[in-house]
Amino acid sequence: MEKQFFDRQEMEERMPDYIFGRLSKEEMEKFENSLLNFPDLVQEIEDVRKVFSKLEKANIDKFVEKRTRNIPVKVNERLKQRRSPLNILARPGFVTLVAGLGIILIAISIFFPIARKFDVNPTQVVKKADTLDNNPLIFPQLDELANLANEQQLDLNILPEIVSAIPLEQDNSYEPAVDFLDELVSEQIVDFIVNEKSVGFTPPYFDLFKNLDKIDENNFQKLIEELKDVQI
């Protein structure tokens, strides 16, 4: 069964609509009947009514109308401006387009010099490496080194100096290959030594390697001490 009176919360929720005449007839009657239970609300309704009676809604509309009367014209003008082919900057998407193109140009201007500097084209690197593998004479200095070692019974102590003295191809555009060439040169020198291409040249440490298990602890420690001072 429906309640005969509104409670406090229901009264407060309906009070503004009651004051502004927006309650249905049934609700208004129930509201007025319930008012007897809330004398404080009667006073409040009176105060609110007094204030809002001074505020004619029509006056507020007039006040706002005065402030907005030029808006249709201004909007129209701005729309015309935007539609004008000369006003390309105002077109939607134009700024985005320009910004996008700018980013692409900046990316290109940064990327290409770097790419050129490192020249990371894998095809070129493989081709160069193939050439080196198939044509060891590309380093004539190695032959010279071999001859020198043959003739002079090369002392291993000066080997690092000789290696560092070998002039590598001066080609700045091929910097990534420098490491590769270094490695290749080292491999070929070691290969040359290990395979004893150098006649009569037997590096002394080879015997040492073969006989490491026969060295006693003291000698081994001495050997390590000596190796500490070796500069490669």
Partner 1 sequence: MLNLAINLQTDKEIIEEFTKGNVEQAANEFVKRYKNFVYLIAFRYVKDYDDAEDITQEVFIDALQKLKFFRQESSLKTWLYRITVNKCKNFLRRRKLVTLVRFGFPNDDEEKGLDFPDNSQNGGVEKKELEEKFLEVVASLPEKQREVFSLRYFDNLTFAQISNLLGTSIGGLKANYFHAVRKIAFAMKQYLED
* Contact set with partner 1 (CB under 8 A): 9, 12-17, 19-20, 44, 47-48, 50-52, 54-55, 57, 59-65, 67-68, 71-72, 74-76, 78-79, 82, 92
Give whichever of 37 and 76 is closer to partner 1, judged by the CB atom: 76
Rank residues 17 and 188 by Cβ distance to partner 1 and give the closer one: 17
Q: Is 210 exposed, middle or buried (0-12, 13-18, 19+ CB in 10 A)?
A: exposed
What's the token pair of residue 204?
Answer: 């002394």
Asked if 196 and 146 touch (Cβ cutoff 8 Å), the reply is no
Least Cβ distance, residue 92 to partner 1 (angstroms): 7
Question: Structure tokens of 50?
Answer: 């007094």
Nearest residue (CB) to partner 1, 36 versus 73: 73
On whether the CB atoms of residues 202 and 196 are closer than 8 A, the answer is yes
Q: Give the nearest distance from C-beta 27 to partner 1 in angstroms.
A: 12
Residue 37 C-beta-side C-alpha neighbours within 13 Å: 13
Instruction: Tell me the closest approach of the beta carbon of residue 84 to partner 1, in angstroms.
Output: 14
Nearest distance from C-beta of residue 29 to partner 1, angstroms: 19
* Minimum CB distance to partner 1, residue 34 (Å): 15
For 155, phi then psi, to 5°, come to: -85, 130
> Residue written as tokens 């900046």?
106
> Nearer Cβ to partner 1, position 61 or 144?
61
Q: Tokens in use for 59?
A: 């006056």
For residues 12 and 169, which CB has a smaller minimum distance to partner 1 in the complex?
12
